[in-house]
Structure 1
């Protein structure tokens, strides 16, 4: 949050909401700290009916939470950024990029072994990084993502999103 809202090197000069999707297990003091720093809290229940890679492994229990970006229908588009993403420059240009308005409602980056040396636009791939994606919230899409249960959950939310958006075809 600091990088996007306050760091002079990566600050977005346009005022944008910073929404944090939380689940019931987040302590109130942490929610209050996020609010004090300028976050909007979107409390959501756990999505607990979709398959996990290993039964009884709780570390995967909250990974489907990012599907709720499609439920944030107060917004025209939502940029989802996992907490482990490092910004090195402002992301302002992403909002104006022609690839940021795909027909599917999802723009995401493929997994690239050559992070700095690749063609632009990135070639179609059958997999993308769900830790950084631009989505158009849509209730129908959200419900469709929650409905399908017949998939291999080796990376649960990523595999579900890849299937839900009919890859290949994701571009960055």
Structure 2
């Protein structure tokens, strides 16, 4: 005969399930907080300030193809800074647009000082604490949520974020005049099925625009123009900073697997701004940015190519453009006596 505890196990399981069911039924149901005045945004005004921003963390890249035998992302950040502030064909024209390099506090002081000498406004920020379940096998992604600190910077009406491994072919000033960016969109507060009571209240209006991810439409072989997808790339987006929005993102991060942690902040943003949610993201014109870029994107006039062009793999024509810009950057700073 089997031991008593084995024979009694089904009874104990049933008792526990009954207790849990009883507790669930007695627990008060909380309706989500819906406030049509909460977090309302203002439209862009003639005096509004904007920021184009990128992000640098202190994750070393050990790849032997590293073009400066140092952190590749640091090298890429310098090239992007040069393109946005100094290169004639890609620099910012509008004096109301600042360029920011957001960094983690463990980025070496020497790198931060070099970027400041290059002309960037360097902002070292605190990391965003992560719940235990938010992790990935890619070590260098561990700091990616920190870039969301940009959404706290309410001194800017709109912020355009682009990853440091982005190469520009033209100015980005005009992105702030795109539909869905100058004027804030109303949150669909009537879509109660998409509003969760265990998350922070949704702001009554929002701005979030991005580009569909070409990873899902053929990668390097994607058509030009590429079709729209349900998922956007978090390597290029435009948003209106707001404390209510920032608090919403933090609250979502507290719930186990509310989003897939593998692609980190990209999954979080795609969840909050999902197509069938109360704050669906706006599709930017395809000519602003391309992931998995090709020569066809270049020929079609896409303004920013999101790719590690300093590494092996991308089309050689695009790689040579990046190395040419890097060489021009060094000559530019040498000519001004700020680089040996």
Same fold by TM-score greater than 0.5: yes
1:91 is aligned, of 172, 190, 198, to 172
- TM-score, normalised via structure 2 length: 0.46
User: Which 5+ residue runs of structure 2 have no aligned equivalent?
Assistant: 1-80, 186-205, 285-340
1:48 maps to: 129
Output the aligned Cα RMSD.
1.9
Q: Could you tell me whether the CA contact under 8 Å between 2:151 and 2:245 is conserved in 1?
A: yes
Per-residue deviation, 1:159: 0.3
1:80 is aligned, of 147, 161, 167, to 161
Q: What count of residue pairs does the alignment treat as equivalent?
A: 166
Is 1:100 matched up with 2:181? Answer: yes
2:89 maps to: 9
Superposition pairs of residues 1-172 of structure 1, within 5 angstroms: 1-15=81-95, 16-50=97-131, 51-54=134-137, 58-101=139-182, 102-103=184-185, 104-112=206-214, 113=217, 114=222, 116-118=224-226, 123=228, 125-149=229-253, 150-167=258-275, 169-170=280-281, 171-172=283-284
- TM-score, normalised via structure 1 length: 0.87
Per-residue deviation, 1:60: 2.2
The structure whose residues are more often helix, as a share, is 2
